[in-house]
């Protein structure tokens, strides 16, 4: 059961593919964040999903929203995958402690040691505005993400 809409998003700091730390709370007050948890780099469904995200990135990431994709892969694996696929959004490594962030978002699959396909839209105040979790092998419908991003309130002035 993934964290629900209205809950405060747990803060985290994870290394990206270049081993640079990315901290969720650094976006607070500036941009919403679309967190996209996925099982494994280089796997079929994950590659299809993240390539769809890459190919339609402007629908999800702009001056109001930042995309952060998270898996339990190492930074080195994520770097190789990003280079091959041309991903320009950050891929974050939840490798050690293994799956700790996925666990706090309640999208860690213990039996396989991987993140489920969890998606969370965190608003500028750090509150979850959209939440979904798909089980192993269940692809996501990214049109729901587009609607959630489009529904974000526009900041005043």
CATH number at 106 reads: 3.40.30.10
Mean pLDDT for the chain overall: 94
Within-domain flag for 104:
yes
- Closest CA relative to residue 98, chosen from 70, 117, 118: 70
Within-domain flag for 4:
no
Q: Which residue has the higher pLDDT, 136 or 25?
A: 25
Within-domain flag for 130:
yes
pLDDT in tens, 37-58: 999 999 989 999 999 999 999 9
- 104 alpha carbon, distance to own chain's centre: 13
- Measure Cα distances from 139 to 9, 25, 44, 71, 100 in Å: 23, 28, 10, 15, 23
Within-domain flag for 155:
no
Distance between CA atoms of residues 116 and 129, nearest Å: 19
**How many domains in the chain?**
1
Within-domain flag for 5:
no
Q: What is the pLDDT of residue 135?
A: 82
Q: Which domain holds residue 28?
A: 13-150
Catalytic positions, written as ranges:
46
pLDDT in tens, 79-112: 999 999 999 999 999 999 999 999 999 999 999 9
Within-domain flag for 3:
no
Which residues face 117 on adjacent strands?
A: 134
pTM for the whole thing? 0.95
């Amino acid at each position: 059961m993934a964290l629900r809409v209205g809950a405060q998003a747990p803060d985290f700091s994870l290394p990206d593919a270049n081993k640079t730390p990315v901290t969720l709370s650094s976006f607070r007050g500036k941009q919403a964040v679309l967190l996209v948890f996925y099982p494994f780099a280089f796997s079929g469904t994950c590659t299809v999903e993240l390539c769809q995200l890459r190919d339609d990135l402007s629908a999800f990431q702009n001056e109001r929203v930042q995309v952060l994709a998270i898996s339990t892969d190492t930074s080195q694996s994520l770097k190789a995958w990003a280079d091959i696929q041309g991903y320009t959004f950050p891929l974050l490594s939840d490798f050690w402690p293994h799956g700790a962030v996925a666990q706090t978002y309640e999208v860690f699959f213990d039996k396989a040691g991987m993140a489920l396909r969890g998606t969370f839209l965190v608003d500028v105040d750090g509150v979850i505005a959209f939440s979904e979790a798909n089980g192993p092998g269940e692809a996501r419908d990214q049109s729901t993400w587009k609607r959630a991003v489009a529904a974000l309130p526009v900041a005043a002035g």
